[in-house]
Amino acid sequence: MKEGLDPFKVRKELKGDARRLFFYLSQRISGYTIDEIKYFSGFSNKALINRCLAEMKRLGIVEKQDDKYYVPRPIAEAVGFAFKHYVKVGDKLIARGFVSAIAYAIFLLIFTAAYPAAISTLPWGLVFTLLFAAIGVYEVFRMRGLVKMLRTANTGEAKP
């Protein structure tokens, strides 16, 4: 594993076919040969696969054992979590729960401004907004735990 791997950097830089290959390689711990990747995943040629693998090696998220390429489980879990639970807004990554809370609060304000009779539903709307914010807090703390796990796995492998 690459020392100092940052799942957020990987989330920002992994695009297109390399992203598709990352998710494909994350499915099986034992890994895939280049021929298996070409045959089963629908990539058009080996040159494209090699280019994607080179990009993934540069980011430090793929490893090779014999002739098989694989993504180590801690890396697959941390980077997969970053892809599923964080949204890219400009050049920033924001937890989806926070984005949902902001969007719902804006919707609630517009809805109550347009229909003043709906002001009685405002407490329920605030409860849902707080629920979305709590989900965002969970996503942040879960990601911190995954990053900590990655650092522990790196230091554990460095001490033979």
Query: How far from chain centre, in Å, is Cα 103?
Result: 21
Q: What integer pLDDT is reported at residue 8 of this predicted model?
A: 87
Q: What is the mean pLDDT of residues 3-23?
A: 87
**pLDDT at 143 exceeding the cut of 60:** yes
Q: What is the mean pLDDT of residues 8-34?
A: 89
Q: What integer pLDDT is reported at residue 116 of this predicted model?
A: 87
Q: In the structure, what pLDDT confidence band is assigned to residue 3 with cuts at 50, 70 and 90?
A: low
Q: What is the mean pLDDT of residues 131-143?
A: 94
Distance separating alpha carbons of residues 110 and 132, to the nearest angstrom: 18
Q: What integer pLDDT is reported at residue 159 of this predicted model?
A: 36
CA distances from residue 34 to 17, 70, 154 in whole angstroms, order as listed? 14, 11, 26
Q: For the chain, give every domain's residue range.
A: 7-76, 80-158
Q: What is the mean pLDDT of residues 105-127?
A: 89
Q: What integer pLDDT is reported at residue 158 of this predicted model?
A: 40
3-state helix, strand, coil in the chain (%, to 5): 70, 10, 20
Distance separating alpha carbons of residues 149 and 106, to the nearest angstrom: 36
Q: What integer pLDDT is reported at residue 55 of this predicted model?
A: 93
Q: Is domain 7-76 classified as CATH 3.20.20.70?
A: no
